[in-house]
Structure 1
């Protein structure tokens, strides 16, 4: 009997990770894939990235709007309420057999809450991780407790999910899907990528993404971004491809600073709302360093063989490869870390591609685990697993 498996995606980041999984599920004879797009995917100011989904040949079955005015925490709560109601309607119409979610963003808590109350089994990807500098950390653990099947990126994260009371046979270490992507995506031709970027891919190139650290009260997102840009000024020969932040509280204050910086440095800086997964991974093959505070710098970039400068506390607590340099948020700290990243010693270390998030056969393990859950439905009530 055909199973309706629904993937919910809300940002360019999670879709970039989920797309290969979606394609494989769509190819399964016993699966009817459903896609729900929400949040940043539907916002023109962030590139209207729902078009990347449809351009890749997928059908978006439901679109759940959640745009509200404001750039503070209260506005995000109101957006969550809007998402919660919209997801109830989407799930009511689609009647999925299970729902697949990735990560830890605030809107995903609304998605998971709607699914749990409607008794829809949840497959949660990337649970058990720690990122102390963002409110996402608590949200991730909350989603874990609402979920039926857990696909973790390392064995340590698997143990942590079990420690939270989840039955061991429902927690599977798959490795990180982003690492699978890094090894399996065919990159764009260099000339085509240069044409899109309007930038020659020679010399040292930095890929830069900086998000608000929502649990960091030491300085505002705008102040921390200003320090990053000041540090980049110390490297006038370093070409920079910068992407927009996410729409967490404070994110809107970062964008004008990035626009102004790109305008002042047209000879070496390019700014994009979104690169998309293919361009991002293609660019990593020509980059010298990734700079910012995105989880991608920790999880995926080590497999590209280049160093990461991970700024501030946003990702504090994540397991990291030797090629990830953690630094403070001041301009001097960031500049010192960039200097280290560009050194021959660190380039050689990064070239070893050591990555704790790598596991052979990640996508196959995910598909097998999800299909096993689908075959066992309806799911039984969960029992708390005592250690």
Structure 2
């Protein structure tokens, strides 16, 4: 597609730093790359370039999407000091990259710590920022700060629900630049090839006759006094108490204490090979296969709230990490206590509970037809880019507006 770009093509610099955000961005990246009036400048960083987290840049390469830049910022540590150092490296690397690339717009998704310095660098260079999945809240994670900071640095906003759109306007953003088009990651459900149940269990090396849970547990970064080891121990205790339940674990992210969580999961899986398997990275196809065919989802990943509802899959949402997000009827929220988690799993496995989800609507899938990414791409291609965008104004609202 690059060879036939128009000289006047709008240049969109899109950052991906984890397997998770790449999965959510995938169809938007495809839409941008397939539009001759747009030029995709894909910047890859973070855990994508780390062998420890599966070197997922290789998955990006397999898609055929052109990688414009690779920027290493991740350290071999996940302390809070390492996180702030990585943020500094991101500021340096992206500041230099944006100065050289001179894109027309920077596109960022979500609330990872590394996107804040990228947004700052873009503003410093006079480049407008478009932000996806703003307006959400997850008071159990430090991501809450990062997400809202990027909202105030961005000129265009693409929240995933109407409630989140209203929240962004409440933060003083111009309603004319806030577009509720839904969650782009859900386009996968309409366009991607599905994997069958037998093939999925064969690939994962699991027994298809046993009940199976998809388990992901990330650090609760908003709780400075939190005990990640104790939280994971309680989760594992609860899971182990269900005879015959086998678990597909995916690794925690690169946040503070993420490596310790992964080591704890690895040790448990090695000691209990018939109960659990830990995967660096399942990839989008297998991950969605798990959401489609496994019995339940357990942990504290946002995927349980955003993607699992489309599969009518029961979710046991553990702890405070996702506290405040909009949830559908499939989500059972519990504390980190082992008995509370056990009770949540019992309910999720109950046939009556599952039957009650058959007609459930996913609140993050506004149109339900796989067009969210195309709609976002069309807006990115058509919004007017003027010098006034960088003159940040606060849009006041009346009480009750």
Global fold match (TM > 0.5): yes
Q: Secondary structure at the match of 1:48?
A: coil
Structure 1's consecutive aligned runs of 4 or more residues displaced over 6 angstroms after TM superposition are none
Mapping of residues 109-148 of structure 1, within 5 Å: 109-148=116-155
Is 1:200–2:207 an aligned residue pair? yes
State the Cα distance separating 1:285 from its structure 2 match: 1.2
Asked if the contact 1:68/1:79 (under 8 Å) is kept, the reply is yes
Is 1:281–2:283 an aligned residue pair? no
Q: Take 2:374 and 2:360, find their aligned partners in 1: how far apart are those partners?
A: 22
Match of 2:381 in 1: 371
Match among 209, 215, 219 for residue 216 of structure 2: 209
Is 1:166–2:188 an aligned residue pair? no
- Quick check: 62-71 or 16-25, which moved more? 62-71
Match among 339, 342, 347 for residue 346 of structure 2: 339
TM-score, length basis structure 1: 0.96
Q: Secondary structure at the match of 2:114?
A: helix
Q: Give a deviation string over 1:136-189, Cα, whole Å, max 9, x none.
A: 001100000000110001111000000111000000001112333234322124
Is 1:63–2:70 an aligned residue pair? yes
Q: Take 2:191 and 2:207, find their aligned partners in 1: how far apart are those partners?
A: 25
- Quick check: 316-325 or 359-368, which moved more? 359-368
Q: Take 1:23 and 1:355, find their aligned partners in 2: how far apart are those partners?
A: 24
Match among 246, 249, 258 for residue 239 of structure 1: 246
State the Cα distance separating 1:201 from its structure 2 match: 3.3
Match of 1:24 in 2: 31
- Quick check: 198-207 or 51-60, which moved more? 198-207
Unaligned runs of 5+ in 2: 1-7
State the Cα distance separating 1:31 from its structure 2 match: 0.7
Q: Secondary structure at the match of 2:131?
A: strand
Q: Give a deviation string over 1:249-290, Cα, whole Å, max 9, x none.
A: 111111111111111222232210111112111221111111
State the Cα distance separating 1:371 from its structure 2 match: 1.2
Q: Secondary structure at the match of 2:220?
A: coil
Match among 43, 47, 55 for residue 40 of structure 1: 47
Match among 377, 382, 396 for residue 386 of structure 1: 396
Is 1:326–2:333 an aligned residue pair? yes
Match among 275, 287, 311 for residue 318 of structure 2: 311
**RMSD of aligned C-alpha atoms?**
1.5
Q: Take 2:360 and 2:32, find their aligned partners in 1: how far apart are those partners?
A: 29
Match of 1:13 in 2: 20
Asked if the contact 1:304/1:353 (under 8 Å) is kept, the reply is no
Match of 2:266 in 1: 259
Asked if the contact 1:201/1:286 (under 8 Å) is kept, the reply is no
Q: Secondary structure at the match of 1:285?
A: helix
Q: Take 2:257 and 2:137, find their aligned partners in 1: how far apart are those partners?
A: 21
Count of residues in Structure 1 that have an aligned counterpart in Structure 2: 386
Q: Take 2:195 and 2:387, find their aligned partners in 1: how far apart are those partners?
A: 43
Asked if the contact 2:220/2:226 (under 8 Å) is kept, the reply is no
State the Cα distance separating 1:377 from its structure 2 match: 4.7
Q: Secondary structure at the match of 2:108?
A: strand
Match among 4, 9, 19 for residue 11 of structure 2: 4
Q: Take 1:106 and 1:61, find their aligned partners in 2: how far apart are those partners?
A: 22
TM-score, length basis structure 2: 0.93
Unaligned runs of 5+ in 1: none
Q: Secondary structure at the match of 1:179?
A: helix
Q: Give a deviation string over 1:308-359, Cα, whole Å, max 9, x none.
A: 1000000000011011000000111111100010001211123323221121
Q: Secondary structure at the match of 2:21?
A: helix
State the Cα distance separating 1:379 from its structure 2 match: 5.5
Q: Take 2:208 and 2:310, find their aligned partners in 1: how far apart are those partners?
A: 20
Q: Secondary structure at the match of 2:373?
A: helix
Asked if the contact 1:132/1:317 (under 8 Å) is kept, the reply is yes
Is 1:104–2:114 an aligned residue pair? no
State the Cα distance separating 1:100 from its structure 2 match: 0.8
Q: Take 1:239 and 1:212, find their aligned partners in 2: how far apart are those partners?
A: 23
Is 1:182–2:189 an aligned residue pair? yes
Q: Take 1:136 and 1:376, find their aligned partners in 2: how far apart are those partners?
A: 29
